[in-house]
């Protein structure tokens, strides 16, 4: 028996539309001209979302695997053997980039910022001035907490220091407007199963052509060779290795639906409405957000565990049985959980989640910031 349909309040994979899922119900030959036209269309449309002009300075490279694969393709391909990487870290995903660099033998340093504080251009500029770095990397929306780092200001600081700028825009691209030129991005990376509302299976890199050409011959892996992947797509439109054909069909449909919604601006408006309803409702239920209001984005929100004998596993399981999937926390120091407001969700879905949370907390004990929860009682 298939599991009942559940709504995903996560940072990805996300709840997708029925029409996106239906797009996968046909097979496509990876070398068929119709499929290659879809790949070509996807690449051009992604550049347009990034504000890149047709025939301008940027290229789009599609890479099989999760978003982490796409990030690693950049880290392992674009930083030369004598390069040095600075990673600004205010969450788990910045730490992951630093770990990638170490595994590949790249000299790396981290600029560590508390998880509840944005990285600033001043932070980055000071560190770049103190030592030689060829590249700097930053997470745009750090989904450890939901905080959104100011990539335009930081990009100017990185460009001013003469370093290449790598942006992990995994959880922001398609929902937060971005201009590749304004960000001074050499590489901006995201994934199919995030705010464009496709399904998992590939990531994509929007790369400054000059930086991409400089990566030729620099790859430390075969399958994640960024320049070779781009060169193959440019030569005949094909992936070097088997592409996720069904995922690409779904993503093409997801791009149609993004455009029908009014592009990034329209999608951002829906996600913001979702977030605002969640914030009001969770406050009314007594939950405390981890971040200050001015530091929260509208992608995902982190909440502290309520005081008392709160057991996240029980909370999660009860919500799951009611058809709602939330996300565990990823903070290094404090117990929290996360709720995403992206994907094919609207304010009605947010209200349904809030109703379910109220119901569950009535069963396992209401959250309290000043004392223990009410005694649990069976469902």
Looking at residue 98, what is its pLDDT? 98
Looking at residue 366, what is its pLDDT? 57
Looking at residue 333, what is its pLDDT? 82
Looking at residue 53, what is its pLDDT? 86
- Each residue's pLDDT, cut to its tens digit, for the chain (379 residues) gives 445 689 999 998 999 999 999 999 999 999 999 999 999 999 999 999 999 988 899 999 999 999 999 999 999 999 999 999 999 999 999 999 999 999 999 999 999 999 999 999 999 999 999 999 999 999 999 999 999 999 999 999 999 999 999 999 999 999 999 999 999 999 999 999 999 999 999 999 999 999 999 999 999 999 999 999 999 999 999 999 999 999 999 999 999 999 999 999 999 999 999 999 999 999 999 999 999 999 999 999 999 999 888 999 999 999 999 999 999 988 878 899 999 999 999 999 999 999 999 999 999 875 544 333 333 322 2
CA–CA dist 222, 45 (Å, integer): 27
Looking at residue 40, what is its pLDDT? 97
And the tokens for 272? 């913001």
Q: Kindly report whether the peptide bond that precedes residue 310 is cis, defined as omega within 30 degrees of 0.
A: no
Looking at residue 338, what is its pLDDT? 97
Q: What is the pTM of this model?
A: 0.93
Token pair 């590939």 is found at 202
Q: Which residues contact 209 (CB under 8 A, 6 or more apart)?
A: 57, 58, 59
Q: What is the CATH number of domain 7-11+263-364?
A: 3.90.1150.10
Q: Please report the beta strands in the chain, taking only residues with DSSP state E, as ranges in sequence order.
A: 7-8, 58-64, 84-89, 107-112, 135-139, 141-142, 147-148, 164-168, 187-191, 202-208, 300-304, 324-325, 327-328, 336-340
- In this structure, whether the domain defined by 20-260 belongs to CATH 3.60.15.10 is answered with no
Looking at residue 330, what is its pLDDT? 81
**What are the b/e assignments for 278-302, b being 16+ CB within 10 Å?**
bbebbeeebbebbbeeebbbbbbbb
Spans of all domains in the chain:
7-11+263-364, 20-260
């Amino acid at each position: 028996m298939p599991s009942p349909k559940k709504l995903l309040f996560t940072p990805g994979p996300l709840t997708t539309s029925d029409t996106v899922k239906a797009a996968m119900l046909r097979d496509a030959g990876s070398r068929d001209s119709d499929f290659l036209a879809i790949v070509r269309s996807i690449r051009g449309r992604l550049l347009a979302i990034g504000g890149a002009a047709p025939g301008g300075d940027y290229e789009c490279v599609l890479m099989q695997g999760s978003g982490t694969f796409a990030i690693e393709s950049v880290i392992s391909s674009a930083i030369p053997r004598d390069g040095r990487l600075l990673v600004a870290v205010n969450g788990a995903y910045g730490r992951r980039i630093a770990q990638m660099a170490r595994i590949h033998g790249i000299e790396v340093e981290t600029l560590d910022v508390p998880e509840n504080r944005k990285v600033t251009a001043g932070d980055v500029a000071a560190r770049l001035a103190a030592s030689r770095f060829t590249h700097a990397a930053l997470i745009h929306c750090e989904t450890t907490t939901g905080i959104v780092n100011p990539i335009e200001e930081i990009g100017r600081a990185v460009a001013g220091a003469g370093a290449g700028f790598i942006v992990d825009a995994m959880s922001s691209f398609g929902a937060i407007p971005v201009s590749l030129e304004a960000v001074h991005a050499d590489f901006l990376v995201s994934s199919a199963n995030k705010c464009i509302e496709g399904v998992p299976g590939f990531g994509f890199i929007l790369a400054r052509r000059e930086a991409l050409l400089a990566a030729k011959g620099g790859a430390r892996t075969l399958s994640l060779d960024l320049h070779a992947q781009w060169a193959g797509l440019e030569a005949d439109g094909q992936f070097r290795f088997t592409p996720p054909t069904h995922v690409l069909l779904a993503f093409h449909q997801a791009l149609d639906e993004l455009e029908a919604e009014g592009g990034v601006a329209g999608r951002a408006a829906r996600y913001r409405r979702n977030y605002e309803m969640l914030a009001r409702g969770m406050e009314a239920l007594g939950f405390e957000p981890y971040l200050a209001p001015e530091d929260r984005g509208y992608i995902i929100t982190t909440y502290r565990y309520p005081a008392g004998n709160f057991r996240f596993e029980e909370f999660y399981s009860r919500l799951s049985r009611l058809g709602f999937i939330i996300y565990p926390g990823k903070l290094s120091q404090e117990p929290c959980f996360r709720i995403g407001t992206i994907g094919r969700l609207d304010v009605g879905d947010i209200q349904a989640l809030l109703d379910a949370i109220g119901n569950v907390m009535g069963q396992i004990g209401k959250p309290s910031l000043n004392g223990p929860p009410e005694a649990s009682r069976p469902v």
